[in-house]
């Protein structure tokens, strides 16, 4: 078995002058070798890239699902899905079943309890939406918790002005 490579090498050495005399054959063989190597590498890396793209797609879908379920960025406390937020701080608790008006641009909350007075044109975040307070039917004091006064609102109306970057 040790002699296997030696006869082939001797044969190629003996026939080298004939091989060199046929440049078209040599060029074709070299080109075919390069083409086969290129196709093999392309196939190998294409399957690797496809597998990685599939993993990224699966992870993107998982991130979207978690955000839709109310997950937050790492290090952020969880958000209440029935809360209004201003500058990252919860300022109000709203009714559990808000309704959209006929245009689909206004959300109406049956009730809301807030730590601050909500005025027209105030911008707040609710889930993954940016809202602008438009008005309410009734406002009243509903007591205090600790040193914080609570204000109750009935039929609080807010205009949808965009989506939050966090996508909660």
pLDDT tens digits for range 70-97: 555 666 677 888 888 888 888 888 887 8
- Mind listing the pLDDT tens digit for each residue in 139-153? 888 887 777 788 999
Measuring CA to CA, which residue among 162, 95, 86 is closest to residue 125?
86
Instruction: Say if CB 168 and CB 68 are below 8 A apart.
Output: no
Tell me what pLDDT residue 157 has.
92
Least confidently predicted of 3-7, 16-20, 121-125, 151-155: 3-7
Q: Which two tokens stand for residue 39?
A: 């196709």
Give residue limits of the domains in the chain: 5-68, 83-163
- Mind listing the pLDDT tens digit for each residue in 21-76? 777 777 788 888 889 999 998 888 898 899 899 999 988 888 777 766 655 566 66
Q: What is the mean pLDDT of residues 120-133?
A: 88
Distance CA 136, CA 156 (A): 4
Instruction: Say if CB 115 and CB 153 are below 8 A apart.
Output: no
Instruction: Give this prediction's pTM.
Output: 0.52
């Amino acid at each position: 078995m040790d002699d296997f490579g030696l006869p082939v090498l001797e044969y190629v050495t003996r026939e080298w002058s004939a091989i060199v005399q046929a440049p078209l054959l040599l060029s074709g063989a070299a080109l075919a070798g390069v083409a086969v190597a290129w196709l093999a590498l392309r196939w190998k890396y294409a399957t690797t890239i496809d597998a990685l793209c599939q993993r990224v797609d699966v992870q993107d879908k998982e991130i979207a699902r978690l955000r839709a379920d109310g997950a937050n960025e790492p290090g952020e406390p969880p958000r209440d899905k029935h809360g209004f937020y201003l500058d990252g701080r919860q300022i109000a608790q709203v009714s559990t079943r808000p309704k959209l008006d006929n245009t689909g641009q206004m959300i109406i909350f049956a009730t809301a309890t807030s730590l601050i007075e909500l005025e027209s044109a105030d911008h707040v975040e609710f889930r993954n939406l940016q809202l602008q307070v438009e008005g309410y039917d009734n406002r009243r004091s509903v007591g205090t918790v600790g040193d914080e006064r609570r204000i109750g609102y009935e039929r609080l109306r807010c205009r949808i002005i965009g989506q939050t970057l966090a996508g909660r």
